Structure 1
Amino acid sequence: MSTTNSPETEPAWWTGAVVYQVYPRSFADSNGDGIGDLGGIISKLDHLAELGVDVVWLSPIYSSPQHDNGYDISDYRRIDPTFGTLEQFDELLEGVHRRGMKLVMDLVVNHTSNEHPWFVESASSTDNPKRDWYWWRDAREGFDTGEKGAEPSNWGSAFSGPAWTLDPATNQYYLHLFAPEQPDLNWENPEVRQAVYEMMNWWVDRGVDGFRMDVINFISKDPALPDGPVQPGKLWGDGSQYFVSGPRIHDYLQEMHREVFEGRKAELITVGEMPGVTIDEAKLFTDPARREVDMVFQFEHVGLDHGPGGKWDYKGLDLRDLKTSWNRWQKGLAGTGWNSLYLNNHDQPRLVSRFGNDEAFRYESATLWAALLHLHRGTPYVYQGEEIGMTNAPFESVEDFRDIESINHFYEATGPLGHKPAEVLRNLRIMSRDNARTPVQWTAGEQAGFTSGTPWIAVNPNYPTVNADTDRAADQSVFRFYQRLIELRHKDEVVRLGEFVMLAEDHPTLYAFTRTLGGGSLLIVGNVSGDTLSLPDDAELADQVSGGTLILGNYGDEPTPELRPWEVRILRTA
């Protein structure tokens, strides 16, 4: 495992790298069954190589009943037949490496599928040797098993409903922070941890270059599993204080490093997805001296448009909130640690629809956000379709959705909570994870060139105009803009390692900051709005903008005194 820069070491390779996330089910289908697969990914490797990315991260392709689109794993060492075979995986791995890229696997070890042999054994009897591999508890004292309120604690699941499900055969409840089909592993049991490390070593020995670790800061729970507070309008308690970055999380990650990564000669990468992580915790997790993970995925910035009721209570983004959040994280991890930079992934709606203008200024707002993100200090992540400016989909009814979180929320919100279906659907259209999971739009042909069959989820109907072929041939190409951003990170040490300073933090639509290293300095200014923007009455900033040399902008012509709608400029300054 590499380290970030320090006086004693060279900067880690991933400080100059860009990661591309592939959600295999929706990327490209090679056999016409309507579901993306390994053959489809292999067929598009040249697209990724031409984009210039350094790392390809695959969302889960393991054997799975697909209750949560592969994040419920029933066999960690088999490829799900939906996606292909282990031989095809080896072909994919060879193709990635031959093009000078690395391959990262998704690691989902907070939970397994309830069809995993470990859980099947665990559930077979109360005295099975694997019973303690998962979290089992009796009904709450004073309640009959199966009675409402009998759950061992009041925790709610991330996918609606209780976080406990009764197993009638053994008359006990098991814990699942997500779907009932995703029981949580008990990391207190050393046998569980060793089984996980053995599996990880099997993949690294096969040639994979690291792991993105799903909700990895949830693996350590307070063994008492006590009740959490119940928020207004919620049916279940919030137990997060007892499992988010829990009591032994640092012990477990340091042990994982010793058991899997210590002594490896390959330049591996480890990314911890960590909902609820704080800056102080992230500094510990990513401190190279502690040997835990290389970088973390935090979620503070993608929760800023949530209302008091959470994700499904959409309120829109105040840019000042985003600047404050990103500035805190840039400063907080500047000395020790490293940021993951993202606005899109498989769990977030499409960037250009959420924070930009996906109609009149789709190209401009897509490229503005790309530049702002990639010019921060950290490792940028590109989610499939982001590089061509894909948008949210116009879902018309709940039947159009496939995501378990979205569907469960609709029925809970319109049932026990009594919300109006039209209002619930409005927020689903904006925030549902399915927005990121519609098929990648490759061509203007049938089904956007994704499949010759019927896709598992409908293609966005705007594919005749928004697709890779059309974008790459256009004068205003989102793809080519991403290419130039990635090339800039590869070539410019200021982009990789320069100090970050936020400017005009209180301005409602101007996003401006500098990156400085040695004698080199860059100024990035962006107009995050559909109106023309005059620069604020700041003589120093105005001089820098007027005196800087334009390296890259999304309007392409000579800069004007004002910033045009959704305009961004990257300037080299004295």
Structure 2
Amino acid sequence: MGGVDVTGAADRPWWSDAVGYEVYIRSFADGDGDGVGDLHGLADRLDHLAWLGIDIVWISPCYPSPRHDGGYDVADYLRAADDLGGDAALDRVIGGAHDRGMRVVLDLVPNHTSSEHPWFQRARRSRDAPERSRYLWRDGATPGPPEQGGTPPNNWVSHFGGPAWSYDRVTDQWWCHLFLPEQPDLDWSDPEVSAAFEEILESWFARGVDGFRIDVAHGLVKHPDLPDLPPATGPDRVDPAEAANPVDPAEAANPIDPDDPLDAHDQLDHRYDVNQEGVRDVYRRWRRIADRHGALLLGEVYLLDPEQLSPYLSGDGLHLAFWFGSVHTEWDAAAVRGVLRRGADVAPGHVAWIIGSHDVSRAPTRFGGGDIGRRRALALATLQFCLPGVPFVYQGDELGLEDVAVPPERADDPIVTRAGVTARSRDVCRTPMPWAPGPGLGFSGAADPSPEPWLPMGPRRDTDTVSVQREDPDSLLHRWRALVALRHSEPALVEAPVEWLTEEGPVIAFRRGPLITVANAGSVAETWAPPGQSSAWVLAFDAAGRGDGQRLTGPLELAPADAVVLRSDEHS
């Protein structure tokens, strides 16, 4: 496998030239034939990731959980869920990945626990419970239960709609939850919370885990006074998760809809409930632990203002943080160029790039669907793979998978089941991975009969499957594999600075050492000439698969959504 050296280069960390891959565990591969993906299924399919050239396997939460929110409501942080295969299966994944030269990153959820976590169960028994201080409890602004006029402590709103507070009748107080009521927020001012999570880190590192992706990494610490949030005005009226750039109203992706319960969250200025100064102190402590183990800390810091994001990536903070601008931009040259440049400027080499994840519509669907959507998605990935940082693939990106419509009666996402907002369902990007022609498209392996998968497969075709695309050298899967190989083979993609060659227009181009990456983000064919003599440039990668290794004989002829990487002989 052509990934990172297990020891890392002497002068840089092991992840610096890596390519990551997100496994949404319940939808990746079903190893026990019950229609739900699990850890044994992942272990059985590690060869696919190794063949693709993946270095980092990021696994969505696989801990015991009632799964009110896809496993991001954790009931026990120190073991793997039995229904996903338990600790033995996770050990098999870790060992199998290491044997293939890959690293394993688990998903850590430190902002909140499950309401079924023993801490919260004990905290609810009385105001004097020892675990009470581990959560955010407050008296109501107006005393009493809601049906008697009692009101929450402040005006904070949950991401899933409704107040970010729920009333506890036993103790006559309210608990805070920025997400579901079943996801009570921890109080990170309590030293026992800090100590417990440091033990969690140490425990998993001792078991061979190579790092953590940190969920809601900007949200752990709240303002100590828990003040009301002011209304957002002007460009800030759009929540960071709904805009390509929160300081540019012209790029707002979704206007506020007063009839959408989720938009109540977007109408507030979130200056007190997220991105507080103390949260970075948490990561400084974790960094000291991680560095002792040579482990990676990767933050889901959902801030689209580079000036707010960059402090998380200071020398003693997180190693990497995702840049989410690319998943909230339309296919438009100015918009794409803007989010790439802002992301590249955050903290060069410390940004994790994505075109999709388990939380957003798949890139081919966002970019128009069908062949043009798939080509645009690969073009964006090509640009990202060639910028400083670490690119991540979301399962199915390499196959060009599009969204699958999930009927409300099959929905799992609380955005649908609780808030009733079908249009924002995340289930559409979480449907099972298609592996091979046949019943269930191979998701449940050789299970006979093949069970109904937990989410519908939708209108997937045999040509969407891994096995069919692997046998076709002209398939999208092979183009993605070639892109990963390019990333591994070119030191300039790790070491060289970025020189932007186009400032406007449909062609996006930049140079890094001997390489130039070019994409046509316009709607018509474009001609673009690289610097110097055309014959000095060779096609190192062509997203369309027409001419890897060919020497240019003239200016590039770029169809819409074409992307290429050129290598100069003069810098060989």
TM-score by length of 1: 0.86
Determine whether 1:342 maps to 2:367. Answer: no
1:271 paired to 2:271: no
For 2:31 and 2:546, the matched residues in 1 are separated by 41
Distance 2:65 2:350 in 1: 33
Partner residue of 1:533? Answer: 526
Q: Tell me the equivalent position of 1:447.
A: 440
- Name the counterpart of 2:321: 296
Equivalent residue, structure 1, for 2:342 = 328
What SS class does the counterpart of residue 213 from structure 2 fall into? strand
AA at the equivalent of 2:297: T
Deviates more, 1:185-194 or 1:551-560: 551-560
Structure 1 unaligned regions, length at least 5: 1-7, 305-315, 412-424
Residues 565/277 of structure 1: CA separation in 2 closer, same or farther (3 Å cut)? closer
Asked if the contact 1:145–1:171 (Cα under 8 Å) also holds between the matched residues in 2, the reply is no
Residue pairs, 1:313-392, within 5 angstroms: 316-334=330-348, 338-355=350-367, 357-361=368-372, 364-392=375-403
Letter in 2 for 1:387: E
- CA 1:557–1:202: 2 relative to 1, 3 Å: closer
Do structure 1's residue 403 and structure 2's residue 413 form an aligned pair? Answer: yes
Out of 539, 557, 560, which is 1:562 matched to? Answer: 557
Between the aligned partners of 1:449 and 1:98, the Cα distance in structure 2 is 25
Deviates most, 178-187 or 564-573: 564-573
Structure 1 residues 545 and 215: CA distance shift in structure 2, 3 A:
farther
Please report how far the alpha carbon of residue 477 of structure 1 lies from its aligned counterpart in structure 2 after TM superposition: 1.7
Separation in 2 of the partners of 1:111 and 1:273? Answer: 14
Cα deviation, 1:128-153, whole Å, max 9, x if unaligned, reads 11111100011114776455671111
- Corresponding residue for residue 481 of structure 1: 479
One-letter code aligned to 1:435: V
Count how many residue pairs are aligned between Structure 1 and Structure 2: 521
8 Å contact from structure 1 (residues 443, 463) kept in 2: no
State how far apart, in whole Å, the 2-side matches of 1:433 and 1:406 are.
9
Name the % identity.
35
Give 1:545 shift. Answer: 6.0
Q: Find the counterpart in structure 1 of residue 97 from structure 2.
A: 96
The equivalent residue for 1:460 is 458
Instruction: Check conservation: 2:333, 2:522, Cα contact below 8 A.
Output: no
- Higher alpha-carbon deviation: 548-557 or 379-388: 548-557
Aligned equivalent of 1:287: 314
Letter of the structure 2 residue corresponding to residue 482 of structure 1: W
**SS class of match (2:463):** coil
Q: Give the match for residue 88 of structure 2.
A: 87
Aligned partners of 1:448, 1:283: CA distance in 2, in Å? 43
* Distance apart, 1:480 and its partner CA: 1.6
Query: Which digits, 9 at most, give the CA deviation of each residue in 1:92-120, with x for residues without a partner?
Result: 11111111111111111110000000000
Question: Do residues 245 (structure 1) and 275 (structure 2) align?
Answer: yes
Residues 544 and 149 (structure 1 numbering): CA distance in 2 closer, same or farther, change over 3 Å?
farther
The residue type equivalent to 2:312 in the other structure is F
What CA deviation, in whole Å up to 9, does each residue of 1:345-402 have, x standing for no partner? Answer: 11121111112x432335533432331221111101011111111111134x433432
- The answer (yes or no) to whether the contact 2:361–2:403 under 8 Å persists in 1 is yes
Partner secondary structure for residue 484 of structure 2: helix
- Does the CA contact (< 8 Å) of 1:363 and 1:476 recur in 2? no
Whole-angstrom CA distance in 1 between matches of 2:42 and 2:278: 38
Contact 2:474–2:545, Cα closer than 8 Å, also in 1: no
**Matching residue of 1:513:** 510
- Partners of 2:10 and 2:207 lie apart in 1 by 28
Structure 2: which amino acid aligns with 1:293?
L
SS of the residue 2:178 aligns to: coil
- Contact in 2 for aligned 1:56/1:102 (Cα 8 Å): yes
Which amino acid counterpart does residue 227 of structure 1 have in structure 2?
Answer: D
User: Contact between 2:332 and 2:521, CA under 8 Å: does it hold in 1?
Assistant: no
Structure 2 CA distance for aligned equivalents of residues 468 and 544 of structure 1 = 40
- Shift of the 326–362 alpha-carbon distance from structure 1 to 2, 3 Å rule, reads closer
Between the aligned partners of 2:341 and 2:419, the Cα distance in structure 1 is: 33
Determine the C-alpha separation between the residues in 1 that align with 2:434 and 2:30: 12
> Which residue type is aligned with residue 365 of structure 1?
R
Q: Partners in 2 of 1:147 and 1:568 — Cα distance?
A: 62
The question of 1:257 aligning with 2:267 is answered: no
Aligned mates of 1:360, 1:344 — CA distance in 2: 17
What corresponds to 1:550 in structure 2? 539
Shift of 1:470: 1.6
Distance 1:43 1:117 in 2: 33
Residue pair 1:71, 1:108 contacting (<8 A) in 2 also: yes
Cα offset for 1:296?
0.8
Segment drifting more, 224-233 vs 204-213:
224-233
Q: Tell me how far 1:522 sits from its aligned partner.
A: 1.0
